[in-house]
């Protein structure tokens, strides 16, 4: 769900063909989508990007660096926005590879405006979901960091399904101490139930960590 205070989505276009860039900017403007166009990957990387949802319409074949090679580098550069490939020289194998690697779509020129707009709306929705999940994880991380060492130990053992008595034996503390720490964990993590706490731990990958150590 978005509100009027949320940043507007931005469509970034990288294509070395000026006429393509101009046509795509006109297309996105016609449906009130903000778009920014760049003639090269280097130009795109040098330009500051907004913090809100976005997607990248990326030409496959460009003089300095291919869009496909850049796509494979994006994660290491901290760029996680969805990508839609466009190309005048693509083939089915290339398209299949791009989709398997996570691209939203692979469109060969000339493509229908409707197909590109559908892909862009899908990509922006995917990026909004990603940003939402990152916000949730960031909040859970803040709650986890508010726990002291003893409370974190109790949380790890609670999500393994141990009873208070077993946790007390595991940590060499009294059972009442475990109860107090467990109550604080529930309060600080803002967990409404045990199931809620387990889901939070899974999201923080504590569940995986404790299962590996069990």
State the DSSP string of 87-140. ESS--HHHHHHHHHTT-SEEEESS--HHHHHHHHHHHHHHHHHHHHHHHHHHHH
Domain boundary among 96, 120, 138: 138
- pLDDT at residue number 94: 81
Report pTM. Answer: 0.76
Residues 78 and 95 grouped into a single domain: yes
Burial bucket for residue 192 (CB in 10 Å: 0-12, 13-18, 19+): exposed
Residues 81 and 170 grouped into a single domain: no
Residues 113 and 157 grouped into a single domain: no
User: What does the DSSP 8-state code read for residue 64?
Assistant: S
Domain boundary among 100, 119, 138: 138
Residues 96 and 78 grouped into a single domain: yes
CA 154/CA 177 separation, integer angstroms: 10
Residues 165 and 122 grouped into a single domain: no
Residues 24 and 91 grouped into a single domain: yes
CA 117/CA 28 separation, integer angstroms: 8
Does residue 25 belong to any structural domain of this protein?
yes
Within the chain, where are the H helices?
Answer: 18-30, 41-46, 67-73, 92-100, 113-145, 149-158, 164-171, 175-188, 194-203, 206-213
184 φ, ψ to 5°? -65, -40
- pLDDT at residue number 1: 46
Does residue 210 belong to any structural domain of this protein?
no
Each residue's pLDDT expressed in tens, for the chain with a length of 214 residues: 445 567 889 999 999 999 999 999 999 999 999 999 999 999 999 999 888 999 999 999 888 788 888 999 998 998 999 999 998 876 778 888 888 889 999 998 889 999 999 999 999 999 999 999 889 989 999 999 999 999 999 999 999 999 999 999 999 999 999 999 999 999 999 999 999 999 999 888 765 554 455 4
């Amino acid at each position: 769900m978005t509100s009027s205070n949320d940043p507007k989505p931005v469509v970034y276009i990288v294509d070395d063909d000026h006429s393509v860039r101009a046509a795509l900017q006109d297309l996105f403007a016609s449906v009130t989508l903000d778009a920014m166009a760049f003639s090269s990957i280097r130009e795109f990387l040098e330009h500051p990007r907004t913090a809100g949802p976005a997607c990248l319409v990326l030409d496959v074949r460009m003089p300095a660096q291919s869009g496909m090679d850049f796509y494979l580098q994006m994660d290491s550069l901290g760029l996680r926005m969805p990508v839609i490939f466009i190309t005048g020289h693509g083939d089915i194998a290339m398209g299949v590879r791009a989709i398997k690697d996570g691209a939203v779509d692979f469109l060969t020129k000339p493509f229908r405006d409707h197909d590109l707009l559908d892909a862009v709306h899908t990509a922006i929705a995917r990026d909004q979901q990603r940003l939402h999940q990152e916000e949730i994880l960031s909040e859970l991380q803040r709650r986890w960091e508010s726990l002291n060492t003893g409370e974190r130990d109790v949380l790890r053992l609670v999500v393994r399904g141990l009873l208070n008595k077993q946790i007390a034996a595991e940590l060499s503390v009294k059972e009442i101490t475990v109860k107090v720490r467990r109550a604080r964990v529930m309060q600080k993590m803002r967990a409404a139930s045990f199931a809620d706490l387990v889901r939070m731990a899974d999201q923080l990958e504590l569940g995986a960590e404790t299962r590996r150590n069990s």
